[in-house]
Structures are given as C-alpha cells and as structure tokens.
Amino acid sequence: MPEFNYDQELTKVREVVTRLQGELEGTILGNTRPAWKCCCGAISFGEAEAVEIQPAGNPYEYQITNPVLWTVGMQETAERAKRYSCGLSEFLPGNEIQEMFDRYFAGIDVERITSEYFTRKRA
C-alpha cells in the first residue's frame, strides 16, 4: 500500500470539490426561495435566488468533504438585495446530497485526511 501523502490527498479532494461544485451549481443556481422571517419577526428576507455554492473547508480544510457544512449563497430579488446563506438541503433531499458526496469522494480516505490535519496542528 502506498504511503499516505496529505498534500497529494488534499489536492485530489480539491479536484473532486471543483467537479462536485459544478454539478451542484448546475442543479441549484438560479432557483428561488420564497420570502421568510423568523417567528419573532426580527430577521426577514424577501424572495431570493441561489447565486453561489460555497464549499466548506475555509479555514478548516478537512471539513471540505462534509455536505452539512456546504452552503448556498442567496441574494434577494428585490431592490434592497440582502444576502444570506442556507444549506444544500433547502434544494435537494438529504439522502440525495449524501449519495452525491459519497459518489464523488469514493476512494479518498476522508478520515485519514481529518486525522492528519489535527496531527499537523499539534506539531
């Protein structure tokens, strides 16, 4: 078995992320979400359009493979155009997201990357 090389594995992960992000952008960008507000009315947003997919991993690169930490950048369609973020699950079912991530990251030792990240931080 070849020796584990953190930097090479992370390079593979980044290449996968680029392809995965492209698929997600094709599926999600341009979709809209209705206006909403919190139950007390302190936070509210008008109808908004998905304008970007934001992968996880900044600044904690080992988190890049965790779909729960990826977000969708939203921009209101109204004049004031506030921005906010929401999860991928606002647009796709959770099981579909997990299957997509499992498919893209198959063959990459995600647990080893996480372990190595923390080993390097302690050194």
* Residue 83 belongs to some domain of the structure: yes
* Residue 74 belongs to some domain of the structure: yes
* Residue 86 belongs to some domain of the structure: yes
Mean per-residue pLDDT, 94-103 = 96
Q: What is the pLDDT of residue 1?
A: 58
pTM of the model: 0.86
Question: What domain range includes position 114?
Answer: 6-29+47-122
* Residue 40 belongs to some domain of the structure: no
Q: What is the pLDDT of residue 96?
A: 97
* Residue 42 belongs to some domain of the structure: no
Give pLDDT tens digits for 37-83: 888 878 888 899 999 999 998 778 888 899 999 999 999 988 777 89
Cα dist from 39 to 70, 90, 102, 114, whole Å: 25, 18, 35, 38
* Residue 10 belongs to some domain of the structure: yes
Q: How many domains does the chain have?
A: 1
Residues 61/87/74/35 CA torsion (nearest 10 deg): -160
Mean per-residue pLDDT, 84-95 = 96
* Residue 82 belongs to some domain of the structure: yes
